[in-house]
Amino acid sequence: MTFKENILDGKVALVTGGRSGIGAAIANRLAQLGARVIAAGLAQPEGATDTLDAAVEQVSLDVCSTEDVTAVIGRFERLDMLVNCAGVIRRGDEHEVDVFEKVLDINLNGTMRACAAARALLKKSSGCIVNTASMLSFFGGGLVPAYSASKGGVAQLTKSLAIAYAADGIRVNAIAPGWIATPLTQALQNDDARSQAILGRTPLARWGTPEEVAQVAVFLCTPAASFMTASIVPVDGGYLVA
């Protein structure tokens, strides 16, 4: 047990993109520590194997719709934690302008929509926001210009909102996952040559797990991180410095 049991008793968390991958792992971990957790997002595709704990509530949410985001968050009477995990990647297709725009709308604009809609509730609880940046917040990717641009934007948005929301008592931080074994990276995991190249550069020499990313996200939501805001925390097995 990394954290004190029930450390989040009485707290309420919304996790966008929380029905699969890293988002689902974060939702599960928050619930295991006593929070009431709502995992919001699109329905999982057929054949998806991610599972949410029974304690985690689920709600449909399209982060590309301001009206939908506002309506979902408007149902809350209290909110202590907002974790933004909704995101997509379209390797090889992102040089097409329409695909580029869609990826940015989900990854970057969707994050801002949720933050803006949740601000008033988080102010009441002196709550916190954890956004999902990426290794590609720090360097580019030739096949994923939209994903890279959106995640660079998420990092800068996190810093900007940390300044803007500080007077409200709201902390705003971000995790920056590296190569994590999720459905988003399944094609790379299945490509032996690409996987070996990734592992060869990663000092810890393995793929990370969603649960390992979740532990860091949860830390940023706890009192242990009470003097942290505007931080972008890599969870990448050392990839960035290798």
Q: Where do the domains of the chain lie, and which CATH numbers do they carry?
A: 12-181+209-237 (3.40.50.720)
Based on DSSP, count helices (H) and strands (E) in the chain, helices before strands.
8, 7
Determine the pLDDT at residue 18: 97
172 in Cβ contact with 165 (< 8 Å): yes
Determine the pLDDT at residue 51: 85
Calculate the alpha carbon distances from 88 to 131, 137, 195 in Å: 14, 15, 20
Determine the pLDDT at residue 3: 87
Determine the pLDDT at residue 5: 86
7 in Cβ contact with 27 (< 8 Å): no
Determine the pLDDT at residue 184: 80
Interatomic CA distance for residues 121 and 19, integer angstroms: 23
Determine the pLDDT at residue 48: 56
The 3-state DSSP class for residue 135 equals helix
Interatomic CA distance for residues 153 and 3, integer angstroms: 31
Residues of the chain with pLDDT under 70: 1, 44-50
118 in Cβ contact with 82 (< 8 Å): yes
Known catalytic membership, residue 165: no
Determine the pLDDT at residue 60: 97
Interatomic CA distance for residues 147 and 208, integer angstroms: 20
Determine the pLDDT at residue 47: 52
Query: Among the options 17, 103, 134, 147, which is catalytic?
Result: 147
Single pTM value for the model: 0.95
